[in-house]
Amino acid sequence: MNRIADKFGSYSKDDVVFLLKDLSGYSLEGSIEQREKNIQSGQHYSETLPIEYQPPENYLSLFWETLDEYKRKAALSTGVVSEQIWKKKGKETVLVSLARAGTPVGILIKRYLYEVYGVRLPHYSISIIRDRGIDENAIKHILNSHPGCNIQFVDGWTGKGAISVELTKACRQFHQLYGVLLDDTLAVLADPGFCTTLYGTREDFLIPSACLNSTVSGLVSRTVLNESLIGPEDYHGAKYYRELEEADVSNHYLSAITEEFSAIKQEAAELAAKIMENPGGASFKGMKEVQRIQEEFKIESINFVKPGVGETTRVLLRRLPWKILMRDPESPYVRHIVMLARERNVEIIHYPDMSYTCCGLIKKTGEE
């Protein structure tokens, strides 16, 4: 039976409730190289975890600089998407963030709506996994706990849209199985891939939480779906890295952005109204660019092409990077990426002909 852990992760329960099975006692990590080899040989990425890369001091300094520089922009994007959620769905909304990049964003939306409208919306964090779907047990728990609620799914940003597609597929399947129609519109801070109609901006800017792993995500790992550990009645799993508490900046990060809300709320309301008048379609235009890059660089799988600032950062932090494409290597949004690429000896290619700020290409294992 699923029981919500008394303490899972370093966030307050007032901010978020994780509907995840605690796998902290299991050893699931492998080296980046070994894990990459296993994934490329057919093992699903959700069955294991990468070893959490803890960046060096100079990189952490850059994270704090980045946060200081972009906290207002992140706050404004939060306000813009929050205003739209409030106007579309109102006080019966339950925020459901997709672990783990969605979790800090869901918390920020919850805090914004409390500060501006005085409402405390419930907020849960649950797992969705590419090619495996959403955690249906978690969804059923939310629906049983909040009858008649309007679920709003939340993530950090869009890359080429794999999770948006997965969410639509999962909502369709949930409707077929249980007769409940869920809104598959994904709320994100940044939608550079044009994958949703509910966003704070479509600029591919640096959301500072993309710079780090669990230490900016409540000390929670990526989610795990491994049949040997997760039964049919269980929630998907994750680990709580208590041993990293000294390095944890999750709550400092949230506070820095929350403190900007009072200054941006008027502008956020105006921008949200403009977007609601004309949100533009979810054309997935980023996917067309990704397909062109895949062809040009003769890349075997489209899953090895990771567009956008957030996804490129992830490639450098927990995959085996091959090359990094940059529209403008002088852009302030890519300073941390340049630092990581140099540290890991990864080639940076000036690639001006794309709408994303940058794009990470994953190395095929066995190749030099």
Rounded to the nearest integer, the mean pLDDT of the chain is 93
Confidence class of residue 2 from pLDDT cuts 50, 70 and 90? low
pLDDT in tens, 304-345: 999 999 999 989 988 899 999 999 999 999 999 999 999 999
- pTM for the structure as a whole: 0.94
- What are the tens digits of pLDDT across the range 279-292? 889 999 999 999 99
Does residue 130 carry a pLDDT above 90?
no
Question: What tokens does 331 get?
Answer: 């852009």
Q: Each residue of 42-62: b (16+ CB within 10 Å) or e? A: eeebbbbbbebeebeeebbeb
Q: What pLDDT is attached to residue 278? A: 92
Distance of CA 52 to CAs 85, 221, 241, 317, 362, Å? 33, 8, 9, 8, 18
Q: What pLDDT, in 10s, does the model give residues 114-127? A: 999 999 999 999 99
With helix as H, strand as E and coil as C, how does the chain read? CCCCCCCCCCCCCCCCEECCEECCCCCCEECHHHHHHHHHCCCCHHHCEECCCCCCHHHHHHHHHHHHHHHHHHHHHHHHHHHHHHHHHHHHEEEEEECCCHHHHHHHHHHHHHHHHCCCCCEEEECEECCCEECHHHHHHHHHHCCCCEEEEECCECCCCHHHHHHHHHHHHHHHHHCCCCCCCEEEEECCCCCCCEEEECCCCCCHHHHCCHHHCCCECCCECCCCCCCCCCCCEECECHHHHHHCCHHHHHHHHHCCHHHHHHHHHHHHHHHHHCCCCCCCHHHHHHHHHHHHCCCCCHHHEEECHHHHHHHHHHCCEEEEEECCCCCHHHHHHHHHHHHCCCEEEECCCCCCCEEEEECCCCCC
Its sign, for the CA torsion 192, 195, 201, 207, is negative
User: Is a pLDDT exceeding 50 seen at residue 176?
Assistant: yes
pLDDT of residue 181: 96
- Over residues 23-43, the mean pLDDT reads 83
The answer to whether residues 20 and 236 touch, using CB atoms and an 8 Å cutoff, is: yes
Rounded (10°) angle between helices 250-258 and 57-89: 50
Give the model's pLDDT for residue 53: 74
pLDDT of residue 4: 64
pLDDT in tens, 85-105: 999 999 999 999 999 999 999
pLDDT value of residue 238: 96
pLDDT tens digits for range 178-236:
999 999 999 999 999 999 999 999 999 999 998 899 999 999 999 999 989 999 999 99
- Res. 368 pLDDT band, cuts 50 70 90: very low
Q: Is the pLDDT of residue 44 over 60?
A: yes
pLDDT of residue 274: 96
